Amino acid sequence: MDNKAFFDSQNEKALKRSRLMYILEAGFEYLIAILVAGTFLAKITTSLGISDNLTGIISSIISLGQIFQLGSLLIKRPKVKGLVIILSVINQLLFLFLYIIPFFEFSCEIKTLIFITAIISAYLIYNVAHPKKINWFMSLIEDSKRGSFTGLKEAVSLLMGMVFTLIMGAVIDIFEAKGEIKTAFLITAVTICALTVLHTLTMLLSVEKEEKDARIKKSGIKNMLAVLKDKNVLKLTLVLSLWLAANSSALPFYGTFQIKELGFSMTFISFLSIAYSIVRIGASFIMGNIADKKGFSTVMKICILISALGYFLNVFTVPSNGYVLYTSFQLLNAVSSAGINSALINLVYDYVSIEKRSDGLAVTQTFAGLVGFFTTLIVSKLVEYIQGNGNMLFGINLYAQQAASLISVIFHLLCFIAIILVVERTMKKITK
């Protein structure tokens, strides 16, 4: 069934409800993601006696989770709603389980093993279901409104996340100050349980477009090979890979840069986080409207240049100007992220045929994720060398993060060129 026939045949009330549910679904999923990442994740690993080094390794393994999206290519069925709901519930219950592990009366080694197994399993299941879920919900949005809709969806998630992070962070701080961190973990587990129920309800209340396609009858392996041979999918994979290489070459090293080299206080870092969210919310609507009028490749080009400017500023960022230049980077990064995150998904919907969209999304994100991961590993060697050499490189006194920022700028420019030469000049937009 094509898009026009689908929208004409569906009850408008059901479609409106489903779109609202999609916005709420994304928001609830984002809140759960917050509780199993960053400082929240670090609180669990610290309580389990997991070292900082092992925590870093666990985070690196998690970043490789996108490779599991290839598993979604093997799933071929006319309707995926039931399967996505089941996998999502299992995934989120495993996240909840992470906060229960500290209560076990096992040795540190056994609890660490259980923790690693649970979190890897959770991300494996999440990444298998994710492309199918995105394809399900995005098929409910008219093509001419995808830009503004995804902008609204992201803005709502960010607003929810800002308030939620402050509340849950305060809860953990209060109980940790009392020496009752396990009470905070229990409250967080209950919170995840409540969010899981709400998240599940949003999916249950959403309609689904049935895929009537001959490819469903083919084997998963044949479908996978067909997608891997699709030139448009491969070209989009190149663009996404260059973008992730641009971010992965510098952004992972900015956390310690803020605290150690630039000497930012946690209060100021919190201010930066809030400012980032506020700017990104406003930019999401602007970029969404531009996308609907000019297309997502235009949004990508604009945002890549804005992002490149931000990273270029960090080439010159030192303690004496850190408050000004790094804040400028943070705000520019917020604007660029508002458009790029939406554009990367929607470019697949622009240039990949309907029957290959879900699989195309899985392929691009899988291989690009691998590129991003190995880029970080390679650049980390340079960072280690510069810091071990007294912040010197080729006789020039500089911080390792400055060199990493320069590498990022180069990848940004390569990505910009790829958008023009590979996407706009050689790819044909799919007629819906």
pLDDT digits (tens, 9 = 90+) for 214-257: 444 554 556 666 676 777 778 888 888 899 899 888 887 776 67
Q: How far is CA 192 from CA 113, 134, 188, 199, in A?
A: 22, 22, 6, 10
Q: By the 8 A CB rule, do 408 and 309 touch? A: no
Q: How far is CA 319 from CA 268, 325, 397, in A?
A: 14, 10, 14
| Residues of the chain predicted below pLDDT 50 | 1, 7, 52-53, 214-216, 219, 431-432
pTM score, whole prediction: 0.69
Q: How long a stretch of residues is the chain?
A: 432
**pLDDT at residue number 151:** 73
Amino acid occupying residue 271:
F
Q: Which residues contact 61 (CB under 8 A, 6 or more apart)?
A: 120
**pLDDT at residue number 206:** 85
CA–CA distance, 34 with 37 (Å, rounded to integer):
5
Across the strands, what pairs with 396?
393
Q: How far is CA 181 from CA 17, 41, 73, 287, in A?
A: 40, 13, 41, 41
Instruction: For residue 11, give both structure tokens.
Output: 């009850």
**pLDDT at residue number 246:** 92
Element (H, E) at 298: helix 296-314
Amino acid occupying residue 428:
K
**pLDDT at residue number 54:** 62
**pLDDT at residue number 118:** 92
Q: How far is CA 285 from CA 280, 327, 415, in A?
A: 9, 22, 24
